Structures are given as structure tokens and as C-alpha cells.
Structure 1
Amino acid sequence: MNISLAKLWLFAALPLAGISAAQAQVSNVQRQPDITYSVVPSKYILGGLTVDELPGFDHDLLESISGLEVGKIYSVPGTDITDAVRRYWQQKLFSNVSITADSIVDNRIYLHVHLTAQPRISAITYDGVKKSEREDLEKRLGLQNGSQITPDMVNRAKIIIKRYFDEKGFKDAEVDIRQKEDATADNRVLVNIDIDKRNKIHVNRIYISGVTPKEASKLKRAMKKTHERTLINFLKSKKFLPEKYGEDKDNVVKRLNAWGYRDAVLKSDSVAKVDDGHVDVYLDLSKGQKYYIRNISWVGNTVYNTEILERILQMKKGDVYNQTLLQKRVSEDDDAVGNLYYNNGYVFHNIDPAEVNVVGDSIDLEIRIQEGRQARFNRVNITGNDRVYENVVRRELFTKPGDLFSMEAIKRTVMALAQMNQFDAEALQSGMNKGIKPDPYNGTVDITYPLVSKGGDQLQLSIGWGPTGIVGQAGVKFTNFSIGNLFSKGNRHIGFIPQGDGQTLAFNVQTNGTYYQAYSLSFLDPWFGGKRPNQFSVSLSYSKQSDMNTSYYNNSYYNNYYYNYLSGYGNNSNYYNYTNYYDPDKYVKLLGLSLGFGKRLRWPDNYFSFTAQFNYTRYMLKSWQYFIIHDGNCNNFNISLALNRNSTDNTFYPRRGSELELSVAFTPPYSLWDGKDYKNLAANYKSFTYQKEMQEKYRWVEYNKWKFKLRTFTALTGAIKAPVLMTRMEFGLLGAYNRYKKSPFEAYYVGGDGMSGYSYGYSTETIGLRGYENGSIAGDNGNNAYAYSRMALELRYPLLLEGQTNIFVLGFLEGGNAWTDVHKFNPFNMKRSAGFGVRLMLPMVGMLGIDWAYGFQRKNTSGQKIGGSQFHFILNQEF
């Protein structure tokens, strides 16, 4: 029997309505059935289910949403059909849903689900906002061209936009979101977001009642974001932000609590409109009685005695009952009682200060402590490391599985990982708290170090100007070198460079072609042997600097240099044509070799390290008129010992910690046993044999060199982007075993940017002093100094501390001096300067910087300019 049924709309609102069909049999003819609705529904076997195809939707998923199964019996109309319609509506993806019966054959019904998808967005326009505001809203709303738009999405967008402008002080902003059919595409709409910000709402006056006028003034300052229009608040925002206003009401009550008004409450508050852009705020307070502490008792403490806890609490009998301070000293401050327990392994402790007695205006406190057991580290995980070998990272950890939990050990590990210069220190510090996961059930703590690899390798290219023209410099530094993989295959390489062991390999070339060449190669292994943090270093260097021949100095252009070039009356480019004057038989050559051994110490603490270094430099001079020795060879063999302490938390922008260095370098005291009369050797510079005697006098250089350096870093706030105060104190002395054999080498060249030109690098150590010419503070009479001092205060502020590019600005006060006579050393006799600058850390380049400084002593005693306005450039070094 074939029965045809007109499409029946099954409304969810009529779940009890039934469908029956009078059936008539006509050969090969289908008739429209009679349709009747009754209270009692008819039961049918679902013979088939058809769901409309929709572009962009999975058809099988659309069918499954209905919950209807072919072959099962359903009442039509009935709750099953109603629920199927409801399920489609709950998806919030359709603008129209209906179910009809295509046909009924015997006791089988064939249903059809009709769906119309919510329209998709063709374009979104914003009216009434600035470009920056539009960009902010686009990020927050998440509406995109091509995505569906639903009523819920429209309502959510309005709420987000209102909240956004509330935060900006536009409390009365209105939002209208309109949709217009896109005539160029099916089921597409054009969305227009029209925003009327209206006037920004500012606070006119704040009226506080229930307290004295003096207290009201102080309470207004307790409000962090709600400020009235006064001269004192000239630089503060006066916008009225409802959410911040709610927080500020709590701040007012907390301030009263801090003053001892334990029962203080805000009885009522109101905000009254003054005009379209201003409101007045009214707060009515009830202070209640002022309370004082009568007694403080401790219960449950066994690890630390009461005297220690009282000293940390910093509250005693007779003090005002300051609930805010009590909370801070119990659990919030870094040095609070709770952190004393937490930092020493008592992770699951609980401290509860309870008021046990209130008599008049006096309160007895009982601080109840549940110490719990000490937790131990369980799993120590490392994530994000794709740069160095796992064992290279783990050997730097001070947190081992099974060790007692210690925040000091975690902080020490974070510092050690940051100082590896292989990972983003900012990302590590900001994500560290999330990596600490206590397990109260097992009494353990799992910890994860979230590492973000960064490139520590550097490529250095620079061009400068020297006495003989342009000087070029090129260098490369690999900070993750692996000498063990140098000849191995299949290990981690970047190009042809073996990587992974955290070793440092550096090569540098500096030259201007003919007149000057310098080469250096260095290697450092911070864990020599791989089992202990014992450092091994080796470096090799060679340089040659040549001179011009005699005809250059006899040339009229040279003799008339002032007239031709400095006075501005003449010009002759032949002066700079050095090619014709090159003399390979006039030179100074240096050959240097250094071997160093270092060890990390455990005492006084594990921030200390000790380094011993053996250094040899051979100076080879021939017809070199710029030095006290013109011909011959000099040898400088010395041993340097250094005690260092570094507790900084970041290599580029430290916020806390210090850097300390105490060092001494000394040569053997040859003059004590070689039997030479140095008082009379080379005493007469007019002597025919003077140069020969000078070479004999300094064939083996002798000296003892002492140095002290200290830098401290103090964050001025607790924020990630906190301004930091850096202080510096630095002294250096170059001593002699024999006063008639003072070393002409290793003296100090003081002043300027701290980057010596190659003309002086062979004999001096360059010390920067901003605001002054390079080398201008080099002793009393322009000679190299045998003593120096330098002090500085520097305020730093970070602009960008994300990823591999970091930037901070700075302002500084600096002072220093230098002396040729060590006995005249006076660290408080300073040449002062002040200025500001910027530092950038760039991947593959390293640190770049520029400072402007003003030296307040403009001229020296000879009338030469040494100070005034100066620009200094910094490349991979720190003043």
C-alpha cells in the first residue's frame, strides 16, 4: 500500500497533538491524506530521516544532533520530536529549525529536518572610535569576516564594548550593533558597530563623612584609582571607573582597619552627576572604636622559637591593632612569618591569627601555627629546552628529587639558568610560580622550569677610525659550542658548528689593512670534565701595528697639518694617502697566551667563585717612537687570582643581587734577585745607550696589580617592569716591587667610552668615565695612571623585556679620577659627570648602547678640554 502525506509541520509547542492519515488505495496513485489532530498522538516507526545540507557543516554531525534513530518508534506529535527541535536550537548556529513529515507508509513515517544557518559576516565597520580603539576591540571581540554571527555573539560584543569604555572612563557609552543583508552573497550580512562614547566621566569631588577632615584627606590618598580634581592630583587620572571605584571603597575601609579601627564599615555611598562629564562621590563611614594590642601569644610553633617569630612579626604589646600590617607580616611580605616556613620546606603550613579576647579597646591575639611536615622535591621537570643537552641544563639545578623543598634553591637555580645566557630570563622568572605544584597527599612538590630558548651567539661587525684611517672589526662568538662534537657525526650542529654543551668559542679580527691587524681566539668550558663546575679557559692573541716612514713626518703637509686641516684655510687629500708612507720595519707586535682555571665555591655561599689565570705576553718593538722603549723585546708573565661573587638574577637587566670582584695580578719580583742596579740603569735619557738600557730594564716586566669592583642592583617596586637602581664602586692600583722599575705596561687609560683605540691597547687597560674624552683622565700630566677610582649611581627603566630583543633607558651620576702617583690616591677626589642613555640587546649582535654625558670639569690644569658634552657608544660591554 502506498500512502502519500502532505508535509506536516510538527510544532514543539504542541507535543500532544497527534497525526493520523486516512488511507486510500488507488492503483499507482498517491492521494493527499486526511489530517486530523487529536490529544492522543499516533505512534510510528521512523522509516527515514532527511536533514538539509548546509555549506560548511558536516552532514553526519547535523543528523546526529537530532537524536532520532531510524527504526525506533516515536509518538508524533510528541516530546521526542520537540526535544529534537530544541537540540538544534541549543547549538545557536541556526536561525530557523523545523521538522516536517515527507510521507507516511503503513506505520512508518519519514521525517525531514529543515535548517537555516545563522548568517555569516561579510564585513565589519566601526563608527565613533579611533583606530587604536578599533584595533583593541577587534582583538577582544573575536568577530571575523566569514564567521557566523548569532544573537548571543551580538549581546556579548555589546557587553565587552561597554566594559572596555567603562575602563577608559566613558561610563555612559552607548553601543548599537546593526546587521544588514549583503545583496552580493547568500546568507551574508554586513555588520555595523556604532559607538557613541559620549563624554568621559571624571570625578569632581569626593566627600567623606564620619571621620575628621585630616583623616578624610588621608583616606582619599588611599583610593588608588579614584581621584578628585585638586592641585595635588594634577598628574593623576581623574577618570571615574566603576570597577576601580568598588576596589577603592574597600581600600578606604582597609586603611581605617590599619589605623586600628577594627569595626570600621562603609555605611553608604553614592555617585551624583554634576554635569555631563563629572560626578561627585559621597562616602559615609563609621569608624567605631580604636583598638590596641594587649598580648600576642604563639601556639603550635616547634621549628622556630617565639623570639624569632616575634622579631619577624614586627608587632608588639601597645601597638595599634593594624589588621593590614598583621596580614602582611603573617603571610604576604617576602620576609613574613609564613614565608619563613615556606622557604624552608614547610609548604603545607597554616598560620591563623585569632582574636581570643577583647577587653575595652584592647585585643589579645593568639597566632596559631600548624607547621606540618617538610616537603621534598619529587619530579623536577624541564620544558622548552631545544638548544642545549639535557645534562647541561640539569647540572645547573640546585633542586634535586628527594631534596628538602627550598625557595632559596629554586631562586638560585633560576639565576644559574639565566646566567647560562641560553634561555629567556624574563620568561623563566615570570612563569616560575606556575611551575611549583605542591602535593599535600604525598607531602611532595613537583617543579617545572619553563625554559624558552634564545640565541646567545653573536656576530660583531663594526667600523671605526684610527690614526691611519678606517679600522674594521669582525668577530663571532658561539656560546653553546661543543668541542666534544667537533669531529662527531649525527650530533647537534648549526651549520658546521657543533652545539649543545654550553661552551664558549670566540674569534675576533680587527684591521685597517696594511697598518694594523689583530687576531684573537678564545675557548671557555664552564664544566671542565663535565662532573664539577670547574672552569677552564684558554686564549691566544696576536697583533701588529706598523708606522709611517720618516718622509711622512718631514712632509710639508704633515708639518702644516694645523694650517691645512684644523684652521680650515687649506685642504690637501695627500695627507690621508698613507699608502706611500708605509714602513714595515717600524712596528710593535704582541703575542699573548692565557690559561685559566676556575672553581665554584660553597663558602661563604655558592654565589662565590675563584679563578686562577696564567698569562704571558711578548712585546716586540722595532723603531717604535710612541713608547718609552723603541727597540727590543719585553716579556710579561703574570698570575692573576680573582674572587668573584655574582648573585644577579638577569644578565641584561638585573633587578636584584650584586656583582663583586677582588683580584690581584702579579709577576715574579725579578728585581729582588737579578742583581741589576735599576736606580742607575737608563737613568740618563740623553745617554747614547739609553734605549739599549731601557730594553734591558724592561726585558722582564714586573708589577703587582690590585682591583676591587662592586655593583649592586635594587628594584624600586615589585613589578616585572620595575625601575632599578644600580650602584657602582671601583678601584684599581698598579704597584711596583722596586720603585726604580715601575712597569710601563698594564697602567690605566681613564676616560671616555671604555673602548680603547688600538694605539693604546698594547700597553694599557682602558677604564671608561662618561662625560670626558678618551684617556683624558690618564694621570696628573696626561700620562698613564697607576691608580684610579670610579663611582656611579644609575637609574634604569625597562621599555621592552620580551623575547630576544630587550631595551632599557637609564640616567646616571658618575665620578672618577686617576693618578700617576699611587700615594696621591683619593677616591673622593672625583671628576663628576651626569647624563642618560639607552641599552639594546639584539639577537646575534649582543648589547648596543649610546650615552650622552656632560663632564662638569671641562678643562684640565693645562687648559686642554677634557669634559663638557660627550656622546659615547657601547658595543658588547658595560661601563
Structure 2
Amino acid sequence: MEKLVNNLHKNIFLKAYNKFYILFFLFLITFQLNAQIENGKKYTINEIVVTGNTSFNASTIITFSRLKKGDEVIFGGEKVADAVKKLWGSNLFGAIDLYFINIKEDTVDIEIKLTDLPELNEVRVEGVKKGKIDEILEENNLKPKVKVTENLITTSKNYIANKYKDKGFLNTKVNIVTAEVKNDSVEKQRVNMLVSVDKGQKVKIKNIVFEGNDQLSDKKLRKALKNTKRKNPIRVLKRSKYVEESYKEDLISLIDTYKENGFRDARVISDSIIYHDDETISLAINVEEGEKYTFGKIDFVGNTVYSDRFLQQILRINEGDTYNGVLLKKRIANEERPDGIDLTNYYQNFGYLFSTINPVEVSADGNVIDLEIRISEGKPAYFNTVGVKGNDITNDHVIYRELRTRPGELYSRANIIRTIRELGQLGFFDAQQIVPDIKNPNPVDGTVDVEYTVVERGSSQIELQGGFGGGGFIGTLGLSFNNFSIKNIFNKKAYTPVPRGDGQSLALRLQASQLFQTYSFSFSEPWFGGKKPFQLSTSLSYSRQFLFDPVTTRPDRDRNFDILGITFGVATKLKEPDDFFLLSQSISYQNYSLNNFNSGLFTFGDGFSNNLSYTIALTRNSVNDPIYPTQGSNFSTSAKLSLPYSLWNGVDYDELSEERNSLDINDPNDAVRIGEIDQERFKWLEFYKVKFKADWYTEVTDKLVLRPSVEFGFLGAYNNNRGVIPFERFFLGGDGLGNFSLDGREIIQLRGYPNQSLSSPDGASIYNKFSLELRYPITLGQGAKIYALSFVEGGASVDRFRDFNPFNIQRSAGLGLRIFMPAFGLLGIDFGHGFDPIPGQIQKNGWETHFIIGQQF
């Protein structure tokens, strides 16, 4: 025992001795260094050498450090510090040391010792799906030759962990290790990286518990948490995952709910997460509600432009109302609705850009809050310069003619919003990316500049499709140029691949099958004359249809039906009742020529009909996006009229009708006479056709859009003895796409039923339809817009008005998907379930699949 103690004392003494020796040695070195380097003394650099493990050229390093021979430096001085800082800033080195060596009187050599950062060689990612690996590598810039720094490793770990935490994997752990590449012939140091991701189980919210809430129920408070929901098997749109960022935002929404109910002093005292063993958590939120308040007197101060009474009508908050701080804020300036009805918009829509409106509480006695709405109006502002950028294809004049903000005009926020909407409706730009930049506001001069940034999107479309229908294969080739420039049609340099930029529309279409061919051409100029929005359009079409022979199951080329049509139209925007209205008119002529073509509607197999008609339509379109509208409406009503030939052509249609009714269509001799009578009846088509359609778009929640729609159509005759014409009829049911019949019919979509199955074989003269759609976007990117939808709809068609009952309809419901790509237009698929039987059947129709090409619903 004594020996052990002596040894222990000896060891302690030796350790103390060693420490003393080391300290003494360091003192000698420091003394010697101080002897060589005098504090504050300037030395002239004699030589600069680069050492260490680096692949960079020495002269490059020296030049980059900005040190050079002959410079005067001070040990620890600013120039030396700047050199080290400059080298560190390059993010190329893992270690940097700068030494003073070979000190001789007033000269010194500088040694820069460097160790290069290793470069990334290969990366392996474990713990995630194969399809996500490239995404992780790209988002974190983990690619070969990237310098591997501690910052790169740390930020990558945090990014990946947060990425999966946002998806509900709250316990995600990420580990990143590197290993030097051995036996590498390359001189540079390189490392391989292993990224291990352990997502764990998805953590769901089992329960949300509130404490301290006596006035508002748990149910109401849970509803206030818009993105943080507890587990519920029937919830589809909102999952029960925990996302910290969304949760923090929801706590603000929780307090807003209290403020909306009069509790302006409410606050969250504490909140905590309770972890459970079954990979779930509970949230405990402790609130302090405070007392309930009501609005007292509200006075307006500083207003000269608008009266107190007018401002009160806009504010719409009265004395005695429950205090609602959120509503008060929205009625003063609603940031969610830039075109909303609020005080700020009323000032800014009439030039008062520099106005400020602030509510100030002047008293809160007895929980009654008296307010002063203090207004500083400022002077009216006028637009100074108005510009556009980003239009690489569309010519400036096409954009400027749509602008509702012009230099010298009074500033109007409403006109800026309207300009954004109308530029989006052109279809040449991505409506989601049109941004107005308010620049150089000058309260002294009362001027402001505005510049609109647009992003071009492909407005031309190629339609190339094939399918089976009408007894065979149908092929379609269509070219639509919606930003055409006809003035450059002979300019070879303008073909990129076609002349573009003047906002005109040119469309060519060819469709053919065994049973028919159709060719069409159309052109429109929206600003004919260039001074006002006066659209001039024309179209020309020709089609031929062959009669199907059920015996040979092939078309009979000797029996055909030709249609030649031409249309001229004009349209102009109206200013009353508001400038969303468009009045359009057109004159069209179609010649129907039948050659041994007896079928259904056409009892005169060898003959012809002429259709000269005038169409007038009034539409009002205020939607904010032509592809995915979130607000606005679209109404249209039209009347298509022929001349009343029976008033002057001298034909007794009463006598012809009586004779026709006395004949038997099944008797060959009578059938010939019926054909002669019908040829006389329909030599020149006499009819009137009235249609109405309305769509509304309402954003229920963020980007979730409700679209109700109603349609009605009626085809009538001036002379009942002459009868309703066999053309221009309505055929209800299916996907709404046209088919092989070319008799001027209109195909009305009603999903959940076969095409045209809800009308008689001869078509209908009356139809109505109701539809309700709920849409939600998957992506609204520039390359493609994709949204999902659900729908319920119903409709009916009849041939006589006495049979018409708008509520006796065939009903359906279903789901669908739409994809809009600029080059191909709209594509989609619908799965519809028909709840009612089609005419002639007993059982409900059931499920139908519909493919949508080039249509908007």
C-alpha cells in the first residue's frame, strides 16, 4: 500500500513537471518570435510560397490573395487578414494558414498553406423511393465535382428532414457520411457520399385538446385550424399530418376566430405536443379568451372626398355589433380580394394611391370600443409611364390596345386588375404569371409608373388524333394559330414556324373516315381597323357523308350528302350596362345537297336545302382565367333566325301538311310523294333557334372552385304547318364531341350516358341541362395546367313544347381530370354514373367513360 502511494505521488510530480516544461518551452518560442517580429513594424514581402495539399496553381493562389512581392505588411495587419478572408470566401479550401517565415530585419517571406476541399465523386441515397432520388440530388445540388463543405452537408440534412416532416414524417432522421476515394489517379481529393434517410412512420394527429376555452367550443376552435386536423377516416381533402409551419399559421387563425367573435384580447398561452406509442401525437393548446367586446361609435376623420354616410355604407359595421377585428381589417383593406369592396379600394380606384386609412381605438370603456377611422387622402395620382415586358412573341400594339391604364389617366387599382384579367383572356400569356409592378410613386408630383410583366405561353395548337366511331376509324388533323400575323404571311423571316404576334386567329381542320370527310377554314381579326375592338371573322367549310350499308357493313359511295357552308361575322364590345358585354352578329349560308340519301330525317333522298340565317348573340364574360377560372361568370344568349319565306312564297303549307298526314310512309308510292312534299317544305329552311347558357365560378377555399351551370335551347318554326326543320337539332348525352353526322346538329354533353342517347334518333327541338362542378388544381404551372373535378348534372330533351318539363331529367355524377398543354389544348377523362335509364330501357345506365379533347366545360 505504501509503495502504491509513493508511485502515485511520483506520477503526479512527473505530470506537473511535464506541464511546467511545456509552458516554459512555449514561453521561449513566444519570446524568440517577439524578438524577431516587432509589434506594428512593417515588413516588405520578399517571396510568397504556396504549400499544402492543393491542386491549384501557386501563381493563381497568390494573385487571388492580392498579396505580391514588394508589399508592406504588418504581422496580424489588415492586408494579411484580407488575404485570408479572400481565400476563405472562395469556398475552395478546407484549411488555410498564413505564416511569416525567414524574417530578416525589414523583409519577410510569406507561406500560404492550403488544403483543398474534397470534391464530390458519387452519391448514394438510401431509405427513399427510387423516383425521389433524382429529386433529392437536384434540390440539394449533390452532383459530381461539387465542393463538399460542412455547410453543404448540414443544409442538405436539414432540407431532406424538413421535406419529409412536411409530409407528416415527423420523426425523420437524416445521416450523411463521406469517405475518401482510395487509389484515385486524380490528384484532387474526392469523396463518396452516403445519404441515409430514416423517415419512420407517418405521424398523425390523434387528438387536439383545448384548455381555457369557456366561450368558444372545441369544435369551433378545431374548425379554425384549417390545415391541422385530427384523424378522421371520412376526410379527404385535409390529412391529419402534423406540419410545424402550417400549425403555427393555424394558431394565428385560431386567434383570428376569437377576434371575429368579439374576443380581441385572446391569446395562446402555451401549446405542446404529446407523443403516443402508436406513432401518433396529440396537440394541447392553452388559450386565454379575455372579455367580449362590441363596437361603439365609429367616426371618420380627415375625409373630404367621400361623406361619412358613404364611407359607413362601405364599412358596413354598426354601433352595437360584436367586435370583429378581422372583419374591420378586411373592410378597410381586404388583402385577399384585390378587387373587393373596401375603403382602400374606393379611394385607390379613383386616383388616391397615396391615401392611408388607419382605425384607431379611442375608448374601450365597458368593453365597448369607440373607433376613429383616420384618413389621409393625399393628392390624386396619375399614370406617368405604362410599360410591358416579357412579350417575346406578341407585338406591343396587341398588348397596349388591351390596357386600361394609360399615361396621363387617373390612377385606378380596379383598372390594373381589369388589365391583368383581359391580358389573361387573350390566351397568349400565362394568366397566373401576369404581374403589375408599381414603380416610382411620387406623392409630391402625384405620378406613378406601372410595368406589366407577362410570360408567353404557346397559343397555337396541333390537333392530331384518331379513334373509332361511326362505323370505322376517324382521323383528325387540325392546326390552330391563335396569335397569327396575316400581314407577315409573305415575309419568310417571320415564319417561326408561322407568322405570329398580331393576335389574329387562323384555323385549318381536316377530319376523315370511311363514312365522311370534312374540311374547314376560319380566320378572325379581333381589332379590325386597329382603333377599337371590332372583330371581323369568316369561315368556310365543306363536308361529304356517305350512307352506311348494313348489308355490306361498308359505306355506299353512290349515296352521299354534301354540305357547303360560309359564314361572315362581326363582334364589338359594349360599354353599357358594363364593358364586359360583347355583341356579335353573323350571316351564314349552308347548302345541303342529297344524292340518293334517304334516312330518318331526310325523306327527300334526292334534293337539296338552303339555309340562309342571321345570328345575334349577347355575351358577358368576366372570368379571370380562360383555363382555370377562380372567379367571375360567363353568360351568353343567342338567337338564330331565317327569313319567314312562307309569308311570300305562295305555297299553301296547310294543304301540304294535310296531304302528307294522309299518306303512308311505308307505301313506296306514298313515300315518293312524301319526299316531294318535304323537298318543297325544306327547299329554304325556315326556323328560329334560341339558346341560353350561364356559368359561375366561385373560389370556395384556396383554389377549390365551384362551377354551377345552366343551359337551354329551343328550335321553333314560324309556320307550324311547315314544321320544325330536320337540321339544326339538339342531340343530348355523352362527351359533347361531334361525330360522323354532319347535318348541322348540336351535340350537348351530359356525362354518364352514351353519346346522343338521351334524344330521339331524329334529334330534339328543346333541351335543358343543369350542372354543378367542383374543381381543384393539381398544378397550374406554365408547361401544363392539371386539375381534378367532381360533378353532378342532369338534363332532358324533347321534340314538343307540351312535353317539356325542366325538372324531369336524366341525372348523373362522377369524377374527372383535365390537362391543358399549350401545344395540344385541353385533354381529359371523365367517369360518369348515369342514375336513370336511357329512353327505351328500364334499368339505370350505370358507368360510362368519356374522353375529352379540345373542349372547355
Query: TM-score band (shorter)?
Result: 0.7 to 0.9
Distance 1:207 1:511 in 2: 66
Deviations 1:387-417 (A, max 9, x none): 2222122222222222222233223222322
Contact 1:18–1:42 (Cα < 8 Å) also in 2: no
| 1:734 partner SS | strand
Q: CA deviation at 1:146?
A: 1.7
Over 3 Å counting, the alpha-carbon distance change for 1:89 and 1:352 in structure 2 is same
Structure-2 residue corresponding to 1:523: 523
Contact 1:18–1:77 (Cα < 8 Å) also in 2: no
Aligned mate of 1:425, from 431, 455, 467: 431
2:741 aligned with 1:747, yes or no? Answer: no
Structure-1 residue corresponding to 2:480: 477
Matched residue type, 2:386: V
Aligned mate of 2:585, from 612, 622, 626: 612
Over 3 Å counting, the alpha-carbon distance change for 1:355 and 1:56 in structure 2 is farther
Structure-2 residue corresponding to 1:446: 449
Aligned mate of 2:403, from 397, 402, 414: 397
Matched residue type, 2:618: L
Deviations 1:319-361 (A, max 9, x none): 2222233223222353332233334433322221111112222
Structure-2 residue corresponding to 1:714: 698
2:338 aligned with 1:360, yes or no? Answer: no
Over 3 Å counting, the alpha-carbon distance change for 1:438 and 1:326 in structure 2 is farther
Matched residue type, 2:689: K
Structure-1 residue corresponding to 2:666: none
Distance 1:466 1:124 in 2: 53
Matched residue type, 2:659: N
Distance 1:202 1:757 in 2: 51
Matched residue type, 1:784: G
Distance 2:277 2:745 in 1: 72
Structure-1 residue corresponding to 2:825: 846
Structure-2 residue corresponding to 1:23: none
Over 3 Å counting, the alpha-carbon distance change for 1:464 and 1:684 in structure 2 is farther
Distance 1:517 1:376 in 2: 58
Deviations 1:302-333 (A, max 9, x none): 23322333233232211222223322322235
Structure-2 residue corresponding to 1:7: none
Aligned mate of 1:725, from 706, 721, 728: 706
2:607 aligned with 1:632, yes or no? Answer: yes
Q: CA deviation at 1:368?
A: 0.9
Structure-2 residue corresponding to 1:666: 641
| Pairwise CA RMSD | 3.7
Aligned mate of 1:794, from 759, 773, 776: 773
Contact 1:682–1:697 (Cα < 8 Å) also in 2: no
Q: CA deviation at 1:614?
A: 1.0
Distance 1:232 1:64 in 2: 68
Distance 1:41 1:790 in 2: 93
Distance 2:129 2:472 in 1: 53
| 2:659 partner SS | coil
| 1:413 partner SS | helix
Distance 1:233 1:796 in 2: 17
Distance 2:817 2:231 in 1: 36
Structure-2 residue corresponding to 1:3: none
Q: CA deviation at 1:425?
A: 2.3
Over 3 Å counting, the alpha-carbon distance change for 1:98 and 1:398 in structure 2 is same
Contact 1:835–1:854 (Cα < 8 Å) also in 2: yes
Matched residue type, 1:620: S
Q: CA deviation at 1:613?
A: 0.8
Q: CA deviation at 1:386?
A: 2.0
Matched residue type, 1:498: P
Alignment of 1:534-573 (within 5 A): 534-547=534-547, 558=551
Aligned mate of 1:322, from 321, 324, 343: 324
| 1:870 partner SS | strand
Number of corresponding residues: 812
Contact 1:19–1:76 (Cα < 8 Å) also in 2: no
Matched residue type, 2:592: Y
Distance 2:597 2:235 in 1: 68
Contact 1:207–1:283 (Cα < 8 Å) also in 2: yes
Gaps of 5+ in 1: 1-12, 21-35, 559-574
Matched residue type, 1:503: Q
Over 3 Å counting, the alpha-carbon distance change for 1:354 and 1:814 in structure 2 is same
Structure-1 residue corresponding to 2:114: 115
Over 3 Å counting, the alpha-carbon distance change for 1:304 and 1:132 in structure 2 is farther
Q: CA deviation at 1:622?
A: 2.9
Structure-1 residue corresponding to 2:261: 259
Alignment of 1:209-224 (within 5 A): 209-212=211-214, 215=217, 218-224=220-226
Output the TM-score relative to the length of structure 1.
Answer: 0.83
Structure-2 residue corresponding to 1:778: 759
Deviations 1:51-98 (A, max 9, x none): 459867576663255453432434568675466446545655433333
2:747 aligned with 1:766, yes or no? Answer: yes
2:127 aligned with 1:150, yes or no? Answer: no
Matched residue type, 1:847: L
Structure-2 residue corresponding to 1:564: none
Structure-2 residue corresponding to 1:30: none
| 2:414 partner SS | helix
Matched residue type, 1:663: S
Distance 1:677 1:868 in 2: 49
Structure-2 residue corresponding to 1:561: none
Distance 1:44 1:15 in 2: 20
Which is worse superposed, 377-386 or 243-252? 243-252
Deviations 1:94-153 (A, max 9, x none): 333334466567854443322222222233444555557765654554343322223344
Structure-1 residue corresponding to 2:510: 509
Contact 2:119–2:146 (Cα < 8 Å) also in 1: yes
Q: CA deviation at 1:535?
A: 0.9
Deviations 1:22-49 (A, max 9, x none): xxxxxxxxxxxxxx54656765432343
Matched residue type, 1:728: S
2:566 aligned with 1:593, yes or no? Answer: yes
Matched residue type, 1:527: W
Structure-2 residue corresponding to 1:655: 630
Deviations 1:471-521 (A, max 9, x none): 43322222222222222344x2134x33222212222223335x5332222
Q: CA deviation at 1:465?
A: 4.6
2:393 aligned with 1:384, yes or no? Answer: no
Deviations 1:618-655 (A, max 9, x none): 22223221212222232211111111111122222222
Over 3 Å counting, the alpha-carbon distance change for 1:601 and 1:14 in structure 2 is farther
Contact 1:712–1:727 (Cα < 8 Å) also in 2: yes
Distance 1:762 1:232 in 2: 49
Q: CA deviation at 1:440?
A: 4.2
Matched residue type, 1:610: L
Over 3 Å counting, the alpha-carbon distance change for 1:316 and 1:877 in structure 2 is same
Contact 2:657–2:721 (Cα < 8 Å) also in 1: no
Over 3 Å counting, the alpha-carbon distance change for 1:593 and 1:273 in structure 2 is closer
| 1:295 partner SS | strand
Distance 1:612 1:768 in 2: 25
Q: CA deviation at 1:536?
A: 1.0
Aligned mate of 1:734, from 715, 731, 737: 715
Distance 2:827 2:89 in 1: 59
| 2:364 partner SS | strand
Over 3 Å counting, the alpha-carbon distance change for 1:511 and 1:291 in structure 2 is closer
| 1:360 partner SS | helix
Distance 1:715 1:684 in 2: 59
Distance 1:390 1:238 in 2: 50
Distance 2:151 2:783 in 1: 41
Alignment of 1:3-22 (within 5 A): none
Matched residue type, 1:668: L
